[in-house]
């Protein structure tokens, strides 16, 4: 009985998990803790208590994330996912709507949790990204031999993903998260094969190509006038114009981006040294969140960036390799969905802080300060590790 209890309460990863993905995840999590501590020094302005609160909060969520990752890696199976998908989706929907009750930083995207001496907020949209991967795998995985119409196949995924994106984009005004959610869902939709889906999949590929071309054109000098004609709010238009020329309003909308670019330029190959960033002391409010990569490069140089890039590349690459090898469409959707979670966040964050694309407010996963994103992505990695473990044990093909 004791042996069974020990086995159930063990916090070891499952048999035949991917060690490289695991090590990369741990490296990113620990590296992120150190960089959050360094970047927060400027925001704390000598307030040691404020600095310690941020570090302790990030450490707590990282530990919770690790426990969540191991638990998910040991618990997750396709049968359990299918059995529990309705309560999981329902809970996520409730949390997304509950976030509308509080306004934090001008947006209604966070849930405030009372805690003595510390303000803790949870961002449900981060968890919805993982749920979307599960939704796509549940309803569109392993459907090759099922006799279903397009309407039957698309009803649940479209309602759930569309509903989540509507709440996040329109009601919460968080377009960055909504784009990530839609992007993950779109890529997952391209994976399964069914005669009823082929036409829609081809149309989606064309729309994605047109969308990329349109964004590139909008960011060119020719598209500048089109931005002003679009039905966007002023702050959304400013993000486009700042990406094209941050120096046009260097003390206003372009201030953050200019600070970030100066940090990149100051870092060089080796950086100025850990904790020695100057830019984080120059009224740089996003130094430990959206723009933390700029602080990483300023302090640790190009080598700091390469550490993050290599870890991301190994996680994404190895999950893709396993997805290509396995026959299970559900397994493929989960692995590619998790890898796209990493890739899209990396693309949007790096593109935004370097001025290549408009800022989206998307964090650099496990590096930026943010408990919800850290917890969410580590749980997603655990889900991917569960699939890999079961595949390598021969439990799924």
Q: pLDDT tens digits, residue range 305-356? A: 999 999 999 999 999 999 999 999 999 999 999 999 999 999 999 999 998 8
Residue 6: per-residue pLDDT: 45
Q: How confident is the model at residue 187 (pLDDT cuts 50, 70, 90)?
A: very high
Higher pLDDT, 47 or 339: 339
CA distances from 127 to 110, 292, 384 (A): 12, 22, 15
Half-sphere exposure of residue 161: CA atoms within 13 angstroms, side-chain side: 27
125-129, 274-278, 327-331: the lowest-pLDDT one: 274-278
Mean pLDDT of 23-38: 96
The model scores a pTM over 0.85: yes
Q: Using only C-alpha atoms, what is the Rg of the chain? A: 21
Neighbours of 226 (CB within 10 A): 12
Residue 4: per-residue pLDDT: 46
How confident is the model over 130-140, as pLDDT tens digits? 999 999 999 99
Residue 8: per-residue pLDDT: 52
Neighbours of 327 (CB within 10 A): 10
Residue 1 has pLDDT above 50, yes or no: no
Residue 268 has pLDDT above 90, yes or no: no
Sign of the CA dihedral running 369, 371, 377, 381: positive
CA distances from 354 to 46, 59, 295, 323, 351 (A): 29, 28, 12, 31, 5
Strand partners, 122: 111
Cβ(33)–Cβ(55) under 8 Å? yes
Q: Per DSSP, which regions of the chain are E strands?
A: 111-113, 120-122
Residue 118: per-residue pLDDT: 73
**To 5 degrees, how large is the angle CA 150–CA 156–CA 161?**
110
| Percent of the chain with pLDDT strictly greater than 90 | 58
Mean pLDDT of 240-266: 80
Higher pLDDT, 25 or 282: 25
How confident is the model over 5-24, as pLDDT tens digits? 444 556 789 999 999 999 99
- From 177, 182, 135, 136, select the one nearest 162 (Cα to Cα): 182
Residue 105: per-residue pLDDT: 66
CA distances from 327 to 113, 195, 323 (A): 43, 18, 8
Residue 217: per-residue pLDDT: 81
Residue 233 has pLDDT above 80, yes or no: no
Mean residue pLDDT of the chain comes to 88
Higher pLDDT, 236 or 152: 152
How confident is the model over 82-104, as pLDDT tens digits? 999 999 999 999 999 999 988 77
- From 374, 388, 287, select the one nearest 26 (Cα to Cα): 374
Residue 3: per-residue pLDDT: 46
Residue 253: per-residue pLDDT: 75
């Amino acid at each position: 009985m004791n042996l069974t209890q020990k086995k159930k309460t063990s916090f070891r990863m499952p048999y035949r998990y991917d060690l490289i993905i695991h090590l990369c995840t741990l490296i990113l999590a620990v590296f992120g803790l150190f960089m959050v501590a360094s970047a927060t020094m400027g925001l704390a302005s000598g307030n040691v208590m404020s600095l310690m609160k941020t570090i302790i909060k990030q450490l707590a969520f990282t530990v919770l994330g690790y426990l969540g990752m191991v638990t998910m890696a040991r618990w997750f199976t396709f049968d359990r996912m299918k059995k529990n998908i309705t309560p999981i989706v329902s809970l996520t929907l409730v949390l997304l709507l509950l976030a509308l009750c509080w306004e934090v930083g001008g947006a209604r995207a966070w849930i405030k949790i009372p805690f003595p001496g510390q303000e803790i907020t949870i961002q449900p949209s981060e968890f919805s990204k993982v749920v979307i991967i599960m939704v796509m795998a549940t309803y569109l995985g392993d459907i090759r031999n099922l006799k279903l119409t397009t309407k039957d196949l698309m009803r649940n995924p479209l309602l759930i993903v569309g509903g989540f994106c509507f709440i996040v984009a329109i009601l919460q005004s968080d377009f960055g998260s909504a784009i990530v959610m839609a992007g993950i869902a779109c890529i997952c939709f391209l994976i399964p094969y069914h005669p009823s889906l082929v036409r829609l999949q081809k149309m989606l590929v064309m729309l994605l190509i047109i969308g990329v071309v349109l964004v590139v054109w909008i960011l060119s000098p020719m598209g500048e006038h089109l931005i002003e004609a679009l039905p966007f709010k002023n702050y959304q238009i400013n993000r486009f114009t700042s990406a094209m020329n941050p120096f046009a309003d260097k003390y206003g909308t372009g201030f953050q981006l200019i600070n970030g670019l100066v940090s990149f330029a100051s870092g060089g190959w080796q950086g100025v040294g850990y904790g020695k960033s100057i830019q984080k002391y120059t009224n740089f409010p996003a130094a430990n969140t959206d723009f933390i990569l700029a602080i990483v490069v300023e302090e640790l140089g190009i080598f700091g960036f390469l550490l993050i890039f290599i870890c991301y590349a190994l996680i994404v690459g190895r999950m893709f390799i396993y997805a290509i090898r396995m026959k299970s469409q559900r397994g493929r959707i989960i692995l590619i969905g998790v890898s796209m979670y990493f890739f899209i966040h990396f693309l949007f964050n790096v593109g935004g802080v370097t001025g290549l694309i408009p800022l989206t407010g998307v964090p650099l996963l496990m590096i930026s300060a943010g408990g919800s994103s850290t917890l969410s992505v580590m749980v997603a990695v655990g889900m991917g590790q569960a699939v890999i473990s079961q595949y390598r044990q021969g439990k799924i093909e």
